[in-house]
Amino acid sequence: MILESTETANNTTSERLELRADDKSTRFISNLYLGEWVLQAACKGVDVDIFFPKNTGNKLIDDANEAEAKQICASCDVREDCLEYAIGNREDLSGGIFGGLTYKEIGQLIKSYRS
C-alpha cells in the first residue's frame, strides 16, 4: 500500500492511495483527496501498511503493530485533521488507524458524541 502526495504546477495537491490486490482490509481508492494537511503528516513516506495492521491472531503481535502506528500518530502535527477526515469519511473506510485511533475507536468516539 502506498500513499503518494504530489504538487502540480498550479500548486494543487493530488493524493493517491494504492492498495495491493491481495489487501482484504480495504478497497482500492484512486485520487483520494485528503487535503493539504497530508503534506505535513508524520506518516508521509512511511509504509502505509503500518496503519492497516493485519490481525495475526496473536494479541501481543497485534497490539505491538497497533502501538507502532499510534506512536507515529502521537507525534504528528496534523493528527486532528487526520482524525476529522476519518470521522467524516468513516463509511468509506474499512479499517485502519487514523489520527491515532483505530476504526473501532473512531466508531466509539462518534457514538459518544451522538449520546
The reported pTM is 0.68
Helix and strand tally (H, E) in the chain? Answer: 3, 4
Cell of 78: 496534523
Least confident span in 23-27, 34-38, 51-55, 80-84:
23-27
Tens-place pLDDT, residues 60-105: 988 998 999 999 999 999 999 999 999 988 877 778 899 999 999 9
The residue count of the chain comes to 115
